[in-house]
Amino acid sequence: MSYRNYSAREGGRHHTDPTPSRFNSQSKYHQRGRGNNRPVPDRRPTAGDDLENITVSIGRNLTTDGVGTQRLARRGLIDSRPRRPIQINPRGMNDGGNNQVRWWRISIPQAGAIGKERVLSTLKANCPRQFQPYHYFIDSDTNTGVFFINSQQDADMLKRANRKIEIQNFGTLSIMVSQASCPAPSLDEDLQRHFRDYICNHRFNPQTFQLNLSNLADDEELSALGIYPQLNKQAFLRDIVVIINKDLPITRQLDLGSNNISNLYEFRKLNLIHLEQLSLASNQLKSFEELTHLKQLTHLNHLYLKDNPLISTNNRRNLSRDEFISTIQQKLPQLKRVDDIELPTKIGFGVDNEAIHLPPTVPHYVPQEMQAFLAKFIDEYYRLFDTRGRGELHACYHDTCMFSLCIAPTEGSIVPTKSYKYGALIYDSRNLKKIFDDNKRTTLLRHGKTDVLDFLRIKFPLTKHDGKSFHVDVFSTANNRAIFSVNGLYREIDQGVNGPVRSFQRTFTCSQTSSGVLIVSDHIMIINATDNQVMNMTRSTPPTNGAMPATTTTAPPQTIMESQTGPGVDVQAQMIQKFSQESGMNIEYSRLCLVENDWNYNKAAQKFQDCQKMNLIPPEAFRKS
């Protein structure tokens, strides 16, 4: 028997025991020099000793505070001064995130083979003190039994019982003890069944359809079942949501207050179609974005959020009360009340409806009563616009009219597009995505008839529009005004028949005046035509002489003939017949060629030959019915 054991048995102290503060706690064994560095002699404790500072050496190496602390103390590597024991509240589970409860994980190999309940009952029968295991389960991969306890004394007791408890046919139990931050949040089938029964029988009121799950962590009955609620863990919340959806779908009021909930991600699967009131008060929600996980609760009208960080003064980021309400309504528009605040009625568009029935659409729309007017207006306007000088356009515009031009870029287009240059016209573009200076934007907006017509006559290129490409949309016809747009193609013919082809959208606002219908606003947006548009325009539009007036009308050729001055009808018919026989073109294209050349037969013939050499005459010009 060693001196140490004898001294400890008699109540004395050994020189390797931790030295309390009253016995010169400053001494260190690795210091040199002074003789008082030697340990103090052993003596019996007296009534004046602080009993809380006396460490009992019996079972010293079986504690769970650490391994080999005495050896380290002897070497001077740790401060061996005793500390006041931490006072553990065995039920202090709901501490708002400052959890002082300490946990230990108890692992018992081969518990699955022995039997889950047999192992636990054997432990309780052979331990000198009863203990409460939490979240007891069998690991399916290792067949190890695992449970958790929150008492250091129980942990020390089980550690000392390692390989000292024998089970028939299986030998002694191996009990491994280690510290853990908290129990595993998931529940096995047995615990899930007990948890479900407890919730349905003790927490749900079938008369009011109210489910009260508040402050679960402090529920003694759940603790007795070996369940430690952790609603700040996704796995535990997932089990709760499954139970509610399956067994309590008729719930109308749900209280989840005081459960340390920090996010609502698992609640996105909560399927309570009748839920009207939900309390999340006194939790740890910090972001309004968490509320989006409740949007499927369409009948939810009252939500409690008080005592959460997200609505605390320091976390609102200086949001006003109206901004606070607006933010919540954006996330949950079905709400009518938050805590004690009545929410105003939110007015919005029904974009969340499953089906929005729109009226049938057509590619282009012109009211029946506008068709005759627009056909005449567009035909006459573009006939005048395509003439050199455009002088006759003076009669089409109001004195206080406005005009703007926008050129849209084609860089990065996924559709093959011609890369024609715009020349000096680009400097008059009022593209608001390119022009940021307000003064320049104002300067580029043309005001008054004189300014508008000067721009169209001097700066805008001479054009030839393709009437067959026109599409018209009417936006409004109210208050004696018509707002409509014309979309189509035109070719710039200043430099000949092979000029650039542009696609355009032109929006007119016309007003009824004493002088007739006049244009009060004219906005044109142009962009280079695509390869297909250029090809279709070349096929459908006969070539024209850039020096001669051009027409855009889609009316029959005889209309064009009647709108031009020239020889008599009989002479015109003879010229058309002869031109058709000599050129091989049909009657319609022969007439059109003569009209565009002012019924000058030789000039029309020369123009035909030039166009034929450049392969500019469409194939349909030679088709005869």
Residue 33 pLDDT > 50, yes or no?
no
Tell me the average pLDDT of the chain: 77
Q: Do strands 397-407 and 446-447 pair parallel, antiparallel, or not at all (unpaired)?
A: antiparallel
pLDDT (average), residues 33-56: 43
The residue assigned the tokens 């000058």 is 600
What letter would DSSP give residue 20? Answer: P
pLDDT (average), residues 8-32: 43
Report whether 245 contacts 221 (CB < 8 A).
no
Cα atoms in the 13 Å half-sphere on the side-chain side of 358: 5
Q: pLDDT per residue over 521-535, tens digit each?
A: 999 999 988 888 888
Position 544 scores a pLDDT of: 42
Mean pLDDT lowest among 37-41, 322-326, 339-343, 411-415: 37-41
Report whether 12 contacts 43 (CB < 8 A).
yes
Q: Model confidence at 597, in pLDDT bands (50, 70, 90)?
A: confident
Position 51 scores a pLDDT of: 35
C-alpha distances out from residue 600 to 167, 541, 548, 562, Å = 123, 20, 12, 16
Position 85 scores a pLDDT of: 42
Domain 103-180: give its CATH code. Answer: 3.30.70.330
Q: Do strands 463-476 and 481-492 pair parallel, antiparallel, or not at all (unpaired)?
A: antiparallel
Position 595 scores a pLDDT of: 80
Architecture of domain 189-342: Alpha-Beta Horseshoe (3.80)
Position 7 scores a pLDDT of: 39
Position 147 scores a pLDDT of: 95
Maximum CA extent, the chain: 147
Position 316 scores a pLDDT of: 52
What letter would DSSP give residue 218? Answer: G
Position 25 scores a pLDDT of: 41
Residue 275 pLDDT > 50, yes or no?
yes
Alpha carbons 297 and 271: distance in angstroms, whole number? 7
pLDDT (average), residues 579-605: 84
- Parse the chain into domains and list their residue ranges: 103-180, 189-342, 368-411+420-540, 569-622
Alpha carbons 454 and 350: distance in angstroms, whole number? 48
Mean pLDDT lowest among 237-241, 314-318, 474-478: 314-318
- The topology (CATH level 3) of 569-622 is Helicase, Ruva Protein; domain 3 (1.10.8)
pLDDT (average), residues 84-107: 57
- Please work out, in degrees rounded to the nearest 5, the angle formed at the alpha carbon of residue 567 by the alpha carbons of 566 and 568: 125
Domain 368-411+420-540: give its CATH code. Answer: 3.10.450.50
Q: pLDDT per residue over 422-440, tens digit each?
A: 788 888 888 888 888 888 8
Q: Which of 276, 200, 181, 279 is nearest to 240 (CA)?
A: 200
Residues, the chain: 625
Position 615 scores a pLDDT of: 76
Q: pLDDT per residue over 490-521, tens digit each?
A: 988 877 777 888 899 999 999 988 888 899 99
Q: Model confidence at 60, in pLDDT bands (50, 70, 90)?
A: very low
Report whether 341 contacts 325 (CB < 8 A).
yes
Residue 477 pLDDT > 60, yes or no?
yes
Q: pLDDT per residue over 151-171, tens digit each?
A: 999 999 999 999 999 988 889
| Burial class, 75, CB count within 10 angstroms (exposed 0-12 / middle 13-18 / buried 19+) | exposed
> Do 368-411+420-540 and 569-622 show the same overall fold?
no
